[in-house]
């Protein structure tokens, strides 16, 4: 029973902190381009956190065979460690573009199911985009990560691998 | 057996939410006046109950009933007040109101960064979860007894 409570507290703690960071960055950037700058600040924060997280999560795993293997790790182990669930669907064109679909993204489930608050959704995805980009970067993969939402709480993260 | 309606007030007396499922008679005054009346009554009765109690108080005011309906009251430590009117067959609702608070209000309002404290609750997700919760109660049926 006490372990269960600790789990619940962990998740709530991260969610509340994440939401406050977004409010803080949002209020610090009240200007014409506010949404864009806000999103990139959050994404950069996520990048640094992602870099650190991936070091911890992979310290005991074997080397990855290839890019696809890395993406599968992100979808399964990485997503489970951070969001307590896996990515629901991974698609790729085998030419460096991957689409990760999460049908019940943990940071959006409390916002709405459907269209309400849709215009605010990008802010809530920015940190996670950075998280993925940072994780990949420390695994030696340079990428650009974007996200889109049409019906909450489902969302898609698009990863474009940059050839170095 | 049925639930007639539900009010949610915050610490300052603002009515955050009101829903009805089975109300046959209106109060005859505007909704704002009705909310003020309800909140004022609760405030007075709580202080009355604690003053006039012949024993040490435990939970304070819990419910009142008339010959037609029963009003259940639950207040959280943070000052959120839930008021539910049901018909007479319904037993003590404190646990249910507490569960409503923790699984619906906390989940969908407190954890929703776009819901500001002190404002009426706009989240559709909250409204629909609240509605499903009430409809799923064992003593809820659309036709009053």
Please check whether residue A16 touches B, CB under 8 A.
yes
If you compute the radius of gyration of chain B from its CA atoms, what whole number of angstroms results?
15
pLDDT in tens, B45-80: 999 998 999 988 888 899 999 999 999 999 999 999
Q: Is B55 helix (H, G, I), strand (E, B) or coil?
A: coil
Spell out which residues of chain B touch residue A120, defining contact as CB-CB under 8 Å. 114
Please check whether residue A112 touches B, CB under 8 A.
yes
Q: Cα-flanking dihedrals φ and ψ of residue A144, to 5°? A: -125, 130
Please check whether residue B108 touches A, CB under 8 A.
yes
Find out whether A108 and A149 touch, Cβ atoms under 8 Å.
Answer: yes
Q: Which residue in A has a C-alpha nearest to residue B114's C-alpha?
A: A111
Nearest CA-CA partner of B81 in B5, B21, B7: B7
pLDDT at residue B93 is higher than 70? yes
Find out whether A112 and A120 touch, Cβ atoms under 8 Å.
Answer: no
Please give the average per-residue pLDDT across B80-100, as a whole number.
92
What's the gap in Å between the CA of B16 and the closest CA on chain A? 17
What is the distance of C-alpha A97 from the center of its chain?
16
Yes or no, beta carbons of A113 and B113 under 8 Å apart: no
Spell out which residues of chain A touch residue B122, defining contact as CB-CB under 8 Å. 116
The pTM of the full predicted model, rounded to 2 decimals, is: 0.80
The CA distance from B83 to B128, in Å, is 18
Residue B145: pLDDT band (50, 70, 90) is very low
pLDDT in tens, B121-144: 888 899 999 999 999 998 887 655
Yes or no, beta carbons of A110 and B124 under 8 Å apart: no
A157: tokens are: 């993260």
- Give the number of other CB atoms < 10 A from CB of residue A26: 19
Work out whether the CA dihedral A60, A61, A64, A69 comes out positive or negative.
negative
Work out whether the CA dihedral A52, A156, A111, A2 comes out positive or negative.
negative
Task: Give residue A1's pLDDT.
Answer: 44
Question: Which stretches of chain A score pLDDT less than 70?
Answer: 1-9, 30-34, 164
pLDDT in tens, B29-48: 999 999 999 999 999 999 99
Q: Which residue in B has a C-alpha nearest to residue A23's C-alpha?
A: B113
Please check whether residue A104 touches B, CB under 8 A.
no
Q: The sheet that has A143-148: what strands, in order across it?
A: A89-92, A97-102, A155-161, A143-148
Please check whether residue A150 touches B, CB under 8 A.
no
Q: Which residue in A has a C-alpha nearest to residue B113's C-alpha?
A: A19
The CA distance from A40 to A57, in Å, is 25
Task: Give residue A32's pLDDT.
Answer: 47
Beta strands in chain B (DSSP E): 3-9, 15-20, 63-65, 69-75, 81-87
ipTM of predicted complex: 0.72
Please check whether residue A19 touches B, CB under 8 A.
yes
User: What does DSSP assign to residue A115?
Assistant: S
Q: Which residue in B has a C-alpha nearest to residue A15's C-alpha?
A: B111
């Amino acid at each position: 029973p006490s372990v269960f409570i600790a789990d619940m507290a962990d998740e709530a703690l991260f969610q509340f902190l994440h939401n406050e960071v977004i409010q803080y960055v949002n209020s610090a950037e009240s200007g014409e381009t506010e949404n864009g700058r806000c999103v990139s600040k959050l994404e950069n924060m996520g990048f640094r956190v992602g870099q650190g997280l991936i070091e911890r999560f992979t310290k005991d795993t074997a080397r990855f065979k290839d890019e696809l293997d890395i993406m599968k790790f992100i979808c399964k182990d990485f997503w489970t460690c951070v969001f307590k669930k896996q990515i629901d669907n991974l698609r790729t064109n085998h030419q460096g573009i991957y689409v990760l679909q999460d049908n019940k993204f943990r940071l959006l489930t409390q916002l709405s199911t459907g269209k309400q608050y849709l215009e605010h959704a990008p802010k809530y995805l920015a940190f996670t985009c950075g998280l993925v980009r940072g994780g990949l970067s420390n695994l030696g993969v340079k990428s650009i990560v974007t996200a889109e939402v049409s019906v909450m709480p489902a969302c898609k993260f698009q990863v474009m691998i940059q050839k170095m | 057996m049925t639930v007639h309606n539900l009010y949610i007030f915050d610490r300052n007396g603002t009515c955050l939410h009101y829903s009805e499922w089975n109300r046959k008679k209106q109060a005859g005054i505007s909704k704002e006046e009705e909310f003020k009346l309800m909140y004022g009554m609760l405030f007075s009765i709580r202080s009355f109950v604690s003053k006039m109690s012949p024993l040490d108080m435990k939970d304070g005011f819990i419910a009142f009933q008339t010959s037609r309906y029963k009003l259940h009251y639950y207040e959280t430590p943070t000052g959120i007040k839930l008021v539910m009117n049901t018909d007479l067959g319904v037993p003590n609702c404190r646990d249910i109101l507490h569960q409503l608070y923790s699984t619906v209000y906390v989940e969908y309002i407190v954890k929703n960064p776009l819901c500001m404290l002190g404002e009426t609750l706009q989240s559709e997700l909250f409204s629909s979860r609240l509605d499903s919760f009430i409809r799923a109660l064992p003593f809820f049926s659309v036709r009053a007894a």
